[in-house]
Chains A and B, each alone.
Chain A
Amino acid sequence: MNFEEYSGVWVFIEENDRNIAQVSLELLGAGRRLADKRGCGLAGVLIGENVTSLSSVIFENGADTVYVYDQPIFKDYRTESFMKALLHCCEKHKPEIILYGATSTGKDLASAVATDLPTGLTADTTELDVEEDSGLLLASRPAFGGNIMATILCKKYRPQMATVRPKVMKSPIPEPGRTGELIEENIQLDESDIRTKVLEIVKATTKKVRIDEADIIVAGGKGLGSSEGFVLIHHLAETLGGAVGASRDVVEAGWIEHHHQVGQTGVTVTPKIYFAVGISGAIQHLVGMRNSSLIIAINKDPNAAIFEACHYGIVGDAFEIIPLLIEQFKQAMAGEEVKHAGKV
């Protein structure tokens, strides 16, 4: 393999209903830093139907080039069709690095592409760097359930690929009017070449909490003692117009549904305020919330690990503290309307 033929950092741009996924913008920010360090270009790869107009957003967020596959066959995401487009693009333009969001689509696509190329793929990366001279991608991720961090390298193959967790990279500040080179590509693909069909797309009807989008999260753990005790968490969240989070053991105990789980096997969150109530602070949990702007921990056990990971801690009984907090917040906010924004 001649590494000199491979150049440039690419981001697979995930698109849904003509909206670019937030994680793709975050990756353009991360990709820009890698490309600048390496002294090469940053490109977005956009695959879909009627999506070409989104290129301007990709340029404004830092891309120098956008490769577009805009064909009816790409209306819905399907592994086989998208994979064929991306493999075509790789073969033609030979990137050094490709980043994907660690979403259901990104992970699915990256795994398939990596096998076919073949090349190495690092999953759920939370830190990215590149060696300036060699171009070696340093992709770091939590491993063994978050117990350790590991830096993964792919020394002998190109492109180097990684999926990156949403919400861990900063999205760039868009530069209105910034533009670049738009390269329209297409491939010969017949519907009969694709062995899967999307029969229906069902958006969640009940407005599910998206804790990854919440500004305030009140998260509870096993320290609350019971599902009845957990009601306190809901009360505080409701008072603040925030979302409810939970540790893994609470979800496993069936006190709340899985999509509230914060952590390694749950959701990564970055709220402005994170309350950790009765949460011991297992590393798996910390991995998912440590980028919150203000972390407040309340726990009976003065030795709980959470106190090492918080900005402010209270050693005390949640059943005493939380009702007082609710009362105080209510007084402080008297007259101000709490904006729930559907996030409770």
Chain B
Amino acid sequence: MLHIVACIKQVPDTKIIKMNPKTNTMDRASAPAILNPYDAHAVEEAVRIRNRYGGIVSVLTMGPPPAVKAIKKCIEIGADEGYMISDRKFAGADTLATSYALTKAIDKISQITPVDLVICGKMTIDGDTGQVGPGIARRLDIPPLTSVKKVEEVNTEDGYIIVHRKIEDGHEVIQSSLPCLLSVEKEINDVPYSTFPNMLKATRYEPHIWGVADLEDVDIKQLGLKGSPTIVAKVWAPPKPEGGKMLEGKPAEQVNQLLSVILEKKELFEVKGGAE
């Protein structure tokens, strides 16, 4: 039976988040916590693959207790099971430590039902790195397929998958053995509105919640802040650009001024030297 694990994260909505202009810090309370939008596409793709080939979809997240809400959102999308790892020892993890913790959880989930496919969103909107997916793949020693925009075929009998992977000027068609890991672009699918039965299921659903002690063969040194090679040394507000010159007058006058500005900047139109 095809078992797909989608890795998800609850994130603050960075589109709405407000900055405190005095302290240059984020006012986290200003932003609602949401399911990372890219992960919604990952879960939706997992559900579509299951609907096409049969099997089950599990979702996995690491986070503080309120992240249960993100799992419930995935149940609404159509996932079958939800797992959460939650422990203070995970706190402060960078992408390397996060991929380690999630891999330990996937190992445990595999003991319940062997995992054929792991799916992640392209990146999270709070971290923006896209590194956790490939990290999990390396730790599980399965091939990572990033920037996936289409799943063409899943063949559990012969143990392979064919996907389209986005590259800079087109895409490539890749075949990989199973199990493997996909990280998906948002253009891979549209996430439909939740159905009433799924909403009802989500309300009642209680995810499996594990602490560090529930996982096996965990090297504590590789978790959380301790296991994170990168540290954030400094945070600052992006430099405020210098305000421009405002063009005054009636629209026709403004347009005339603008035109002369552009024509004056002749050097802009000369052919660039150097590496081009």
Residue of A nearest to B123 (CB): A123
Which of B50-58, B162-170, B196-204 is found at the contact surface with chain A? Answer: B162-170
Asked if A228 is at the interface (CB within 8 A of a chain B CB), the reply is: no
Q: Number of B residues whose C-beta is below 8 Å from A? A: 83
Chain A residues with CB below 8 A from B237, complex form: 148-149
Of the listed stretches A31-39, A64-72, A89-97, A192-200, name the one at the interface; the rest are far from the partner chain.
Answer: A192-200
Q: Are B172 and A201 within 8 A (Cβ)? A: yes
In the assembled complex, the Cα of A16 lies from the Cα of B256 at a distance in Å of 45
* Contacting pair B15 A145 (CB below 8 A): yes
Which of the 9-residue segments B65-73, B75-83, B84-92, B125-133 touches chain A? B125-133
Stretch at the interface among B40-48, B142-150, B205-213: B142-150
A295–B244 touching, CB < 8 Å: yes
The DSSP consensus for interface residues of chain B is mixed
Residues in B114-135 with C-beta less than 8 Å from chain A: 125-131, 133-135
**Majority DSSP secondary structure for residues of A touching B:** mixed
The residues in A between 141 and 163 inclusive whose CB is less than 8 angstroms from any CB of B are 141-157
Assuming the A-B contacts A108-B134, A258-B187, are A145 and B17 also in contact, with contact meaning beta carbons closer than 8 angstroms in the complex? yes
**Contact yes or no, B170 A115, CB < 8 A:** no
Cβ contacts under 8 Å, A120 to chain B: 94, 96, 228-230
Alpha-carbon distance between A118 and B263 when the two chains are bound, in angstroms:
53
Which of B167, B180, B236, B275 lies at the interface centre, i.e. has the most chain A CB atoms within 10 A of its CB? Answer: B275
B229: which A residues are within 8 A, CB to CB?
118-120, 154, 156-157
Number of A-B contacts (CB under 8 A): 253
In the complex, which residue of chain A has the Cβ closest to the Cβ of B171?
A: A202
Contacting pair B168 A104 (CB below 8 A): yes
Interface-forming stretch among A41-49, A171-179, A180-188? A171-179
Within 8 A of B (CB), among A267-322: 272-273, 283-284, 286-287, 290, 293-297, 307-317, 320-321
* Residues of A participating in the B interface, judged by any CB pair closer than 8 Å: 16, 21-22, 25, 61, 76, 79-80, 103-105, 107-108, 110-112, 114-116, 118-124, 138, 141-157, 171-174, 195-204, 208, 210, 248, 258, 264-265, 272-273, 283-284, 286-287, 290, 293-297, 307-317, 320-321, 324-325, 328-329, 332
A–B Cβ pairs within 8 angstroms, 17 of them: A110-B131, A142-B238, A144-B17, A144-B126, A145-B128, A149-B235, A152-B230, A174-B274, A195-B176, A196-B180, A198-B174, A202-B172, A272-B268, A272-B269, A308-B240, A315-B246, A332-B263
Top 6 closest pairs, chain A to chain B, by CB: A145-B14, A120-B229, A111-B134, A123-B129, A120-B230, A171-B275
